Copies of this chain bind each other. A is one copy, B any other.
Amino acid sequence: MKKIDIVKKILDANEKYAFENVLFLAEHKKLCLNMISSPGSGKTTILTRTINDLKGELKIGVIEGDIQTDIDAERIRRTKAPVVQINTDGACHLSAAQVSAALRELPVKDLDLIFVENVGNLVCPSDFDLGENGKIVVLSVAEGDDKPIKYPGIFAKSKVLLINKIDLLEGGLVDFDIERAKTDARRLNKDIEIFPVSARTGEGMTDWCDWLRQSVKTV
C-alpha cells in the first residue's frame, strides 16, 4: 500500500506543474503536442520532416527529451527550428516540471506549435501529464500490429496515432496489418485520428500536416 501512496504523491506533484503548463499554454494560445513512442519508431524523423514540410506556414519549436545525449536535438537544430534539450539522466519519462522550465526557454510568443519529444518509451510517459494539448503516439510498422492491445494505455490517451515506416511494408519484409492496428486502436479510443506515414519517403505526411494546420487554428 505504501508504494501506491508514494506513486500517487509523485503523480500529484507532477499534476501541479502540468496545470501550470496548461495555464501558460492557454495564456499564450499555443498548441503543444507530446509525442510518445518506443525508441526508434521515428519521432525525430517525423518532426524534422514535419518542420520542413510546414516551413513558411507554421513556426514550430521543439522540447527534446532524452535520457542522455543531444543527438536528436542536434537533428532538429539543423532544420533551424528552436529546440530546448532536456536530459532526464536515467529517468524514463519527462515530467511536467521539466517541460515547464523548457517552455520558458523557448521563444513561445513567436511560435505556432510546440512539440515535446518524450523519452523513447511506450509505457511510462503515458502516465505523466505534461499539461500538453494532446498526445501523439507513434508506432513503426517494424514493431508489429499487436502493440495497441499489448500497450493500451498510450493508445487510449492519444489524440493521434502515426503509423510510421509504411515504406517497409513494400516487399513484404514486415508483417503488419494496418487495418488490425487501426481497429484495435479505435476500440481503445474511438476518437483517435490515425495517419499512416513514412517520414522517410514523405508518404502520408500531407494528411498529418493538414491535421496540424487545423489544430493550430482551434487552440
Which residues of A come within 8 Å of B, CB atoms?
3, 6, 10, 38-41, 66-69, 71-72, 90, 92, 119-124, 140, 142-144, 146-147, 149-153, 165, 167-168, 170-171, 173-174
Known A-B contacts A120-B150, A149-B69, A165-B142; A39 and B40 likewise in contact (beta carbons under 8 Å): no
A10 to B165, CA, bound (A): 38
Cβ contact of A38, chosen from B3, B39, B72, B146, cutoff 8 A: B39
- Alpha-carbon distance between A10 and B151 when the two chains are bound, in angstroms: 24
State how many copies of this chain the complex holds.
2
Q: Which residues of B contact A39 (CB under 8 A)?
A: 38, 122, 143-144, 147, 150-151
Indicate whether A152 sits within 8 Å of B38 (C-beta atoms), given known contacts A10-B3, A123-B92: no
Q: CB-nearest residue of chain B relative to A72?
A: B150
A165 nearest CB across to chain B (Å): 7
Taking CB as reference atom, which chain B residue is nearest A40?
A: B143
Q: A6-B10, A92-B123, A168-B168 are in contact. List 14 more A-B contacts (CB 8 A).
A: A6-B6, A39-B122, A40-B142, A40-B147, A41-B143, A66-B150, A67-B151, A92-B92, A120-B122, A120-B151, A121-B123, A123-B124, A170-B173, A171-B171
List 13 A–B pairs whose Cβ atoms lie within 8 Å, in order of A's numbering: A38-B39, A38-B120, A38-B122, A39-B147, A40-B142, A67-B152, A68-B152, A71-B146, A92-B123, A119-B123, A121-B124, A123-B124, A170-B173
A121 touches B122 (CB 8 A): yes
Chain B residues whose C-beta falls within 8 Å of the C-beta of A167 in the assembled complex: 173
In the bound assembly, the distance between CA atoms of A67 and B167 in angstroms comes to: 29
Which of the residues B3, B38, B170, B173 comes within 8 Å of A40, measured between beta carbons? Answer: B38
Q: Which of A120, A123, A153 has the most CB of B within 10 A?
A: A123
Nearest Cβ in chain B — how far from A76, in angstroms? 14
Whole-angstrom distance between the alpha carbons of A160 and B150 in the complex? 26
